[in-house]
Each structure stands twice: as structure tokens, then as C-alpha cells.
Chains A and B, each alone.
Chain A
Amino acid sequence: MIYLVVVWLRFFNSFQTEANLRGLENKEIKLMGKISSEPILQGSSQKFKMGRIEVRVKQYPKYEYGQNVQVFGSLQRRETNRWYSVFSLMYPDIKVIEADRVKFIGFDWKEGLMNLRRRVEKVFNQSLPEPEASLLAGIVLGAKRGLPYEFWQALQRTGTLHIVVASGYNVTVVIGVVIGYLAGWVKRRTAVMLGILAIIGYTVMAGADAAIVRAAIMGSLIYFGQVLGRKADGVRLLIVAVMGMVAYEPRIIWDVGFQLSVMATSGLMFVGPLLETVFKRVWLVGGDMRDTVAAQIGVWPILLITFGNLSVFAVVVNSLILWLVPVVMGLGGILGIGGLIWQPLGQVMGWLAYVPLTMMVRVIEWFGSQSWMSWQVEGISWWWGLGYYLVLACLLIRRSYGKQK
């Protein structure tokens, strides 16, 4: 009950901002503030956020997260639905404001982490060709900033875009590595706490998209539960994470990344175990196939409705490449750290990482160029998706009910 009130209040609050902004539509506005997201490169332009407003400017000069800027232009609105629209400024006049000297007394953690991330990306870019370099940045850091457009399309067509989204897997690796290395040095409790801190740092570095935030909350809770001696229940953790995120920002339910992340996780949890018997027998990639099918069952209506295409053979492509992801993450991590210390060391690691990366790239590009890979279906209503999820939920409930009997 209290929760509902909180959500409602937050929702009301954001609706107010929206209404205020709507009043300014098509008017010349002058905006002063910090760039609040990592700028993303798209063709010959770059895009970043300043709070609720998206700003698109030319590719150069480059802007960075955290810079203080002043923009002047006409406010555009693009409606997503009745309650939510995207506000943007297209190619406004933009000026960097020299940072306040006073601010530099304190250390901005977020800016420090973003800096680290930029330096790691630079190491990747200097030791590997494209698109391998940005695929690596995507897998390790969830960075989509530099992905060549054609390769991005191939990822989407083959249903493999999720590998460049930092998510649960990255969280598992980060905390696993921290705890693994600290075990024996410090008490387990301390190790877990440091691991959780590392997750938070990583989440910020990866741009704090919905998917990684969800994974970070769930991951931290699992390990936190371990310290308290409580067993983790995936379903409950997912519900807690979702409720927390919605309470913090109700509009997130219209964020496609959030929808996909939640439904894919649900698919893994509810549908995955049912498929176990079928895929158990498949050698090497059986587990990957099971997970892909389960996640696909969870997300395909969202993909179909939002993007209008369906990757029919996503399971095949995913089975071919998913087993390489941990290898790439490991090598990418070593490359990032090694390269920061000494570039030639990074170069050698880069060559090693090139092997699995180029295998992935070849597979994705080949399948992405096949016309039978994805089907275009336009104009499906949300009601179909809702109906699908209802039917799916009924089937799952009946099944578990039958088992109990």
C-alpha cells in the first residue's frame, strides 16, 4: 500500500515535469547544465542527455559526460504514448562552460569511473580493428557508443544484440573475480562487501542502463543474502529489483531495455527449467540453447512490437557464439588492465582476444546478411503481446500446479 503511494507520487512528479516541458514545445529554450549521459555516436552526429532532454549535435567537437554546457535551440517532442514522450534539441547552439574551480576540491567518483572506462575503450581501439574493437567494448563494458552501424544492424537481425548489453553475466563475473581474489586475504564478509562495491562501480561505468541496474540489484542481494545466511530465491529477488526500480523512476516501464531485461530474466527462471530435459543431451552448447530459447520465449512479443522484426534463427546464432562470451570477457579484462599499464602488453593480449572476437564477428555478419534471418512484421498492437503473456502465465501456473498434485 505504502509502495503504491510512493510509486504514484513519483509518477505524478514525473508527469508534472512532462506537462511543464510540453508547454515549451517548439519554443526556443536556453538550457544550462551537465551532460548527464555518455554521448553516443550515430553516423556523423552524437547524442547525449541533459536530464529529461535529449540533445543531438555534430560529431565534432566531442563532448564528454559531466561537462557543463549551455545549449540554445527549439524544443522538439516525439510522443511514445499518452504519458510519455521524448524531448529533444536538434543541432542547437552549444557552448562549453568552463568548470567551476571550486568543484575540483571534491573527487567526482562517477567522473573518475567514466574516465577509466574511456581509457579502457581507447586501449581496445588501439589494439584491435573494427568491428572487433567495439564488439569487445560492448561485451566487457556494455559500450554501444562506437558500434559501426552495419554491425549493429547485423546484431539486431540475428537476435544477438544482448551480448553488447552489460547484464547479469557481467555482474556475476565482476563479483566472482573480486571475491575469488580476495578470498583468504580478508574475511568473507568484507570480500562480499567489496564485491558489491565493485558491482556498483561497474554499473556506473557501464552507463547504468536498466538491464545492468536490474542485474546489479539482484546480484548484490544474492551475495548480501549469503552474508546474512539466507538462501536466495530468484523470483523474489527479481520482484524486489523491479519494484525498487519502478518506485525510483516509474517511467522506466516504458524503457525497452527494462522490459527486455525483466522478461528475459523471467523466461530464464520460469521457462528455462522446463526445457532442461530437451537440451540436456545437446553437446557443449546445450545450456546456451536452453537459455536462448527460454529468453526468446520471454521477449519475442516485445521485440516484434517495438522493432517490428523477429530473428527466427536467433537460437542457432546464439548457440554458435555464446560459449565464446566468457572467453572474450576474460581476455578483454586482461587486455584492458594490461594495456593501461603498458600498451605493447595490451597489443599481445589484443591478438589473443582477436581470435574469439573475429569468430563471433564472422558468424554474426554472415547470418546478418541472410535475408531469411529475420522477418519484418509491422503494426502489431500491444494487446497481442499482453494476451500472449497472459496465456503463457496461465500455462506455467497450471503446469506447476499439476506438478504439486
Chain B
Amino acid sequence: MASRSERRLWSRLNLGLVMMLGLMFLAWWQRPDNKLRVVVCDVGQGDAVLVSWKSYQLLVDGGPDNSVLSCLGKNMGFWDRKIEAVVVTHPQADHMTGLIEVVERYEVGKLIVANVVNDTSEFWRLRQVVEEKQVEVKELIKGDRLRLGAVELRVLWPKERGGESLAWKGEDELVQVLGEKTFQGDVNEVSLVLLGSFGKFDFLLTGDIGEKEERELVEELGPVELLKVAHHGSRYSSSQRFIEQVRPEIGVISVSKKNRFGHPTQTVLDRLTEVGAKIMRTDKDGMVRIITEGRGDYRVEVD
């Protein structure tokens, strides 16, 4: 008959063994495959899109609160604490607030920013944590390219470099920048627009651009499989011409149930339906995940 302490030791060892087996099972269960996943997170009234291939991740925007963290938890392996690149399409609260905790909790390879400053508490807080964790900040404009494993991304917008991205660099420049603030318009106008391609699968992430920017972009665009509908389906975006040109097979709208802006507008929904797009909405479907092998096939999952 074993003594009490011996039995306790045995039961602890057993428990440890079970945990190790569980860990191995989970690691196997969440093992990366060769498919591209584009996830439009359900973050309420805001945007957060995760592009993931194998253990590479690109996060485009972070939503208005911390719900993006649960989305990352669901779509990344538990061992993976690195996000290769984070994009802030434009520094408005509904696109960047969640990124503050993302930068604090994950190892972020690069932070890619638009060239404007938005003088809000969220903006300065993000800048502060980016500096604390010494994340490399890069400003990209039209023509620049990004590579995420087998995924190729082209930056289509904004057109030109602004001076304000200096605000990310350090205190001295910051003072200068604030002294001669150059950008006067709506920050939505300089939203980063990304066109990604993985084999035969093309996806277009439009940030919050409006009709004016769409007009300039439309010439160089062709049909895409997936479109993140601009500005939560606002009436001032997704013009007839633009939608007809990109002819998305799936149009995802990131929007909250009750929002005071009346997003998404019926006109935009109709335009999408007319070109035969399947409409997915985070307010109705929750998180939307598109999985593809890049050979002309894809699968849409909701959660």
C-alpha cells in the first residue's frame, strides 16, 4: 500500500502527463496548413481584418475596442505570439483602438501606417506603446509591395507621401510636425488600400475610402474574389462604377447592429447584389472567415 504522499505524487504526475498529451493534441489540432485565411472579425462598428497563411499574420486595423483579441485567439495557433505586420489604414478610433492592446500583448514585426496624425488620446497611446516596444514603423504609399509568405500585397492608396508620419519617430520631430500640420482634409481620404493575391484568389481591402478615391483607383482594378466593402457600407463609398469594375464574388461589410450612421445603406447592398456578389455582414453573420487554397476555390465560414 502506497503512502498518502506517494499517491499524491502519482496523481500529480498523471495530471502532468494528461496536460502534456493535451498540449500535443492541441498543437497538432491547430497545426498550420497551406491555405490562406482572410478573417473579417466581428468588432462592432469598426474594421479588423486578419490575413493569415501558415504562421504568418497580417492584421489590417483593430476595431473600436478589444474584441479583436478574441478574434486573434480564435484564428491563431496558441503558441504563435507574433504578428508579422499590423496595418493602420487610417488613424480613426474605430480602426485603431484595438491595436493598442494588440501591440502590448503580441510581438509585432512591423507597423504600417498612413501618413496622417489624428490628435486623439487613442492615437497618442498607440504611438506610446509602439515606441515602448520598439516596433518598426513604416509608411507605405501607392506602388509599394508587401509579401506575407505566399501572399502578395500591393498598396494602391494613398497616392503620395505626407510629412506627418514623422510623428511616429520621436519627440523632436513630433514637435515640428505639430507645428506645421500639413494635412487638412478628411483622414478617410488617405486610407491605405491593399490588394492581396494568393494564387488565383484576389482580395481588396479598402479601409474607409470614398467615391472620390474610388474614381482614381478604378482604372487599375479588375474583378476580385473578395471585397471588404469600403467605410462599413456607407452611402458615400462603393459607387456603381467601382462595384461594377471589381465585381466581387463575396462582399463583406464590417458593421455593428445598431449604429447611428445608418450603415450599411440599401443602395450599396443593391449594387452588390446586382453584380452577383454574396453579401456577408458582421452584424448578422458574426465573424466571417474565407478559406482558400488559391486554385479558384474557396469556402466561407461564419462564427
Is residue B215 within 8 Å, beta carbon to beta carbon, of the partner chain? no
Measured in the bound complex, the distance between the Cα atoms of B21 and A355 in whole Å is: 9
The one of A60, A125, A327 that contacts B105, using a Cβ cutoff of 8 Å = A125
Given contacts A60-B100, A126-B105, contact A44 B78 (CB under 8 A): no
Are B104 and A148 neighbours in the complex by a CB distance under 8 Å?
Answer: no
Bitwise interface map of B from 59 to 84 toward A, beta carbon under 8 Å scored 1, else 0: 00000111101101100101101000
Are B78 and A130 neighbours in the complex by a CB distance under 8 Å?
Answer: no
Are B125 and A61 neighbours in the complex by a CB distance under 8 Å?
Answer: yes
Are B15 and A130 neighbours in the complex by a CB distance under 8 Å?
Answer: no
Is residue A146 within 8 Å, beta carbon to beta carbon, of the partner chain? yes
Listed stretches A168-176, A195-203, A346-354, A372-380; interface member:
A346-354
Given contacts A41-B66, A62-B125, A327-B15, contact A129 B23 (CB under 8 A): no
Most chain-A Cβ atoms within 10 A of its Cβ — which of B73, B93, B101? B73
Are A148 and B78 neighbours in the complex by a CB distance under 8 Å?
Answer: no
Which residues, 99 to 127 on B, are CB-close (under 8 Å) to A?
Answer: 100-101, 104-105, 121-122, 124-125
CB-CB under 8 A from A150, the residues of chain B are: 67, 70
Is residue A127 within 8 Å, beta carbon to beta carbon, of the partner chain? yes
Is residue B13 within 8 Å, beta carbon to beta carbon, of the partner chain? no
| Closest partner residue, chain B, to A126 (CB atom) | B105
CB-CB under 8 A from A148, the residues of chain B are: 66-67, 69-70
Measured in the bound complex, the distance between the Cα atoms of B26 and A351 in whole Å is: 10
* B285, chain A: closest CB distance, angstroms: 15
Given contacts A58-B121, A60-B97, A347-B81, contact A44 B65 (CB under 8 A): yes
Given contacts A129-B76, A351-B78, A352-B19, contact A60 B125 (CB under 8 A): yes
Measured in the bound complex, the distance between the Cα atoms of B125 and A129 in whole Å is: 22
CB-CB under 8 A from A146, the residues of chain B are: 66
Is residue B276 within 8 Å, beta carbon to beta carbon, of the partner chain? no
Which residues, 315 to 357 on A, are CB-close (under 8 Å) to B?
Answer: 327, 347, 351-352, 354-356
Is residue B199 within 8 Å, beta carbon to beta carbon, of the partner chain? no
* A344, chain B: closest CB distance, angstroms: 11
Is residue A128 within 8 Å, beta carbon to beta carbon, of the partner chain? yes
Is residue A132 within 8 Å, beta carbon to beta carbon, of the partner chain? yes
Are A127 and B23 neighbours in the complex by a CB distance under 8 Å?
Answer: no
| Closest partner residue, chain A, to B125 (CB atom) | A60
Measured in the bound complex, the distance between the Cα atoms of B93 and A356 in whole Å is: 35
Are A129 and B78 neighbours in the complex by a CB distance under 8 Å?
Answer: yes
Total interface residues on B, using CB and 8 Å? 29
Are B121 and A61 neighbours in the complex by a CB distance under 8 Å?
Answer: yes
Measured in the bound complex, the distance between the Cα atoms of B67 and A131 in whole Å is: 10
Most chain-B Cβ atoms within 10 A of its Cβ — which of A59, A62, A327? A59
* A36, chain B: closest CB distance, angstroms: 22
Given contacts A125-B104, A150-B70, contact A43 B65 (CB under 8 A): yes
Are A131 and B78 neighbours in the complex by a CB distance under 8 Å?
Answer: no
Given contacts A351-B23, A355-B23, A358-B26, contact A59 B97 (CB under 8 A): yes
Are B64 and A44 neighbours in the complex by a CB distance under 8 Å?
Answer: yes
Is residue A149 within 8 Å, beta carbon to beta carbon, of the partner chain? yes
| Closest partner residue, chain A, to B23 (CB atom) | A355
* B100, chain A: closest CB distance, angstroms: 7
CB-CB under 8 A from A355, the residues of chain B are: 19, 22-23, 26
* B227, chain A: closest CB distance, angstroms: 27
CB-CB under 8 A from A358, the residues of chain B are: 26, 78
Are B125 and A354 neighbours in the complex by a CB distance under 8 Å?
Answer: no
CB-CB under 8 A from A352, the residues of chain B are: 19-20, 23
Return the 9 tightest CB-CB contacts between A and B, nearest first: A129-B73, A355-B22, A130-B69, A44-B65, A60-B121, A130-B73, A148-B70, A60-B125, A130-B70
* Known A146-B66, A352-B19; further 8 A-B contacts with Cβ < 8 A: A43-B44, A60-B100, A130-B66, A150-B70, A354-B26, A355-B26, A356-B22, A358-B78
